[in-house]
Amino acid sequence: MNKNVPIKVGIIGCGWAGGTLHLPALKSLPDAEVVAIADIDQHRLNQVGDKYGIKNRYTDFMELIKNNEVEVVAVCVPAKSHAEVAFAALDAGKHTFIEKPLALSMGEMELLIEKANVSPGKATVGFNLRCHRLVREARKIIREGALGKIESMRSAWTSDVRHYRDMPEWRNKRGEGGGTIIEIAIHHFDLWRFLLGSEVEEVSALTRSFEWDDQIATVNARMDNGAIVSSFFSELTSNNNEIEIHGRNGSLLISCYRFDGLEFQPILRTPGTISARAKKAIKTLSNLHQAVSTMRRGGEFMASFQAEWEHFLFSIKNNTPVECTLRDGMAAVKIALATAQSASLGIPVKVTQAPREIRPVGRF
C-alpha cells in the first residue's frame, strides 16, 4: 500500500451516523477519500452525495462492496443490519469499520469475529469516545497510578436530541437497537472497561419506557477489580457527557464537551476554594489555543470521530493493531444484554449469564 495515497472509503448508511458524523470527519482527513456511498433512501442518498460531491451512489449496499475502488467499508446502517452488512464487507476482503453496537446477538457477533479472523481486511468497532483527547489523557493518568486504587466511577450521558430530531421508528424499539441502553449507554459500558482496565461482573438497571423503550436508564455495576459504577442516561434532557473516577489518592472528572474538561482533584483538598478556582482559571486560559483549534473541527466530541478514523487509517497503512477490536465490541454488547435483562426483570444480572440476544422490553 502506498502510504502517500489517500485510502478509498465507502460509507453504507447515510443517516445521522454516516451522513452527519462520519462523512464530515472523513472529508477533513488527508489520508481518506470517500469515493462511494449507499443508502436505501434514494432522496437521502442524493442529498448527501450532492452535498459532498460523491459520484458513486448505490441503493444496494452489495454494489458498493463490489466496487474495486473501495478499500474500506464503513457500516453505518441501523443496528439490526450491522451483522449482515459487516459480514459481506469482511467476506469481500474489505477493511471494515462497524458503528456501534457490533450486532444485537451473540451468534451474530461470534460469526463476525470468526470471519474477521480469516479476512485480509482489518476490522474495528466505532466507539469514538476511546479516541477522545481527554479520555486518552485520563486513561494515561489512571495507568500511571495517580489515582491509586480505584474505588468507584460515576458517569452520565444526557442529550436533548429528541427535542429537535425526528427519530426513525427503530430508534424507539430496544429489540431493534433503539433506546438509551443500546444507543448511548453502550459507549459508557465500553469506557468502563477501557478506562479501568477491568471487566464488568454484574449490573443492575432501572429504566422508564413510556413514550419509547428505555427512554431513561440508570445502571449500577460491579467491576472485577472491586470498583463500583453508577451511571445515568437520557435523550430527553440537556446535553452532558461526563465520567468521574474516584481513587484512594484523588479523583478525575472528564467532561467530553468541554475543551478544558479534564480535572484532577487530589485527596486532602477541597474543590471550590479560591486557590483551586484560580488554578482552574489559569489552566483554562493556557488551553485557549487548543480550544480554537478544536472548535474549528466541530468541538471536542466531533474531533473524537476524526481521531478514531485517523487511528484506523494508520493501522491499515502501517499494519498495526486497531484501537477497538470486535471482541471489545462484543464485550460492550454483552454488558448491554445483561443491562436490558436486569431492567426487564428488576434483578441484578451477571454479565456471564446475560441472554444471547437483545429482546423487546418485557420479553424475558
Helix intervals (H) in the chain: 23-27, 42-52, 61-66, 82-91, 106-118, 133-143, 161-164, 180, 186-196, 274-286, 288-296, 300-318, 326-345
Q: How confident is the model at residue 264 (pLDDT cuts 50, 70, 90)?
A: very high
CB 221 within 8 A of CB 235: no
Q: How confident is the model at residue 294 (pLDDT cuts 50, 70, 90)?
A: low
Which residue from 65, 6, 7 is spatially nearest to 38, judged by alpha carbons? 65
In a domain, 288, yes or no: yes
Check whether 270 has a pLDDT greater than 80. Answer: no
Check whether 164 has a pLDDT greater than 90. Answer: no
Report the pLDDT value the prediction gives residue 166, as an integer from 0 to 100.
81
Q: Which residue has the higher pLDDT, 210 or 153?
A: 153
Report the pLDDT value the prediction gives residue 4, as an integer from 0 to 100.
83
Say what angle helices 82-91 and 106-118 make with each other, to 10 degrees: 10
Q: Domain containing 136 — which CATH number? A: 3.30.360.10
Check whether 364 has a pLDDT greater than 60. Answer: no
Looking at the fold, whether 60 and 201 belong to one and the same domain comes out as no
Check whether 284 has a pLDDT greater than 90. Answer: no
Mean pLDDT, to the nearest integer, of 92-105?
98
Mean pLDDT, to the nearest integer, of 287-292?
58
Each residue of 175-196: b (16+ CB within 10 Å) or e?
A: bbbbbbbbbbbbbbbbbbbbbb
Q: What is the rounded CA–CA span in Å between residue 303 and residue 294? A: 7
Q: What is the rounded CA–CA span in Å between residue 148 and residue 138? A: 13
In a domain, 143, yes or no: yes
Q: What is the rounded CA–CA span in Å between residue 69 and residue 89? A: 13
In a domain, 327, yes or no: no
Q: Which domain holds residue 225?
A: 132-301+334-345
Looking at the fold, whether 203 and 75 belong to one and the same domain comes out as no
- Between CA 76 and CA 81, with CA 77 as vertex, the angle to 5 degrees is 130
Q: What is the rounded CA–CA span in Å between residue 152 and residue 250? A: 11
In a domain, 34, yes or no: yes
Q: Which residue has the higher pLDDT, 241 or 281?
A: 241
Looking at the fold, whether 103 and 162 belong to one and the same domain comes out as no
Q: How confident is the model at residue 293 (pLDDT cuts 50, 70, 90)?
A: low
Looking at the fold, whether 98 and 188 belong to one and the same domain comes out as no
Q: Rounded to two decimals, what is the model's pTM?
A: 0.93
Per-residue pLDDT tens digits for 26-42: 999 999 999 999 999 99
In a domain, 201, yes or no: yes
Looking at the fold, whether 203 and 280 belong to one and the same domain comes out as yes
Looking at the fold, whether 225 and 91 belong to one and the same domain comes out as no
Looking at the fold, whether 189 and 63 belong to one and the same domain comes out as no
Looking at the fold, whether 147 and 162 belong to one and the same domain comes out as yes
CA 323, 327, 328, 330 torsion: positive or negative? positive
Check whether 298 has a pLDDT greater than 80. Answer: no
Looking at the fold, whether 138 and 162 belong to one and the same domain comes out as yes
Looking at the fold, whether 158 and 297 belong to one and the same domain comes out as yes
In a domain, 353, yes or no: no
Looking at the fold, whether 152 and 291 belong to one and the same domain comes out as yes
Q: How confident is the model at residue 276 (pLDDT cuts 50, 70, 90)?
A: low
Report the pLDDT value the prediction gives residue 283, as an integer from 0 to 100.
63
For the chain, the domain total comes to 2
Q: Domain containing 76 — which CATH number? A: 3.40.50.720
Check whether 196 has a pLDDT greater than 60. Answer: yes
Looking at the fold, whether 179 and 257 belong to one and the same domain comes out as yes
In a domain, 96, yes or no: yes
In a domain, 29, yes or no: yes
List the single range of 118-122, 150-154, 158-162 with lowest mean pLDDT.
Answer: 158-162
SS3 category, 13: coil
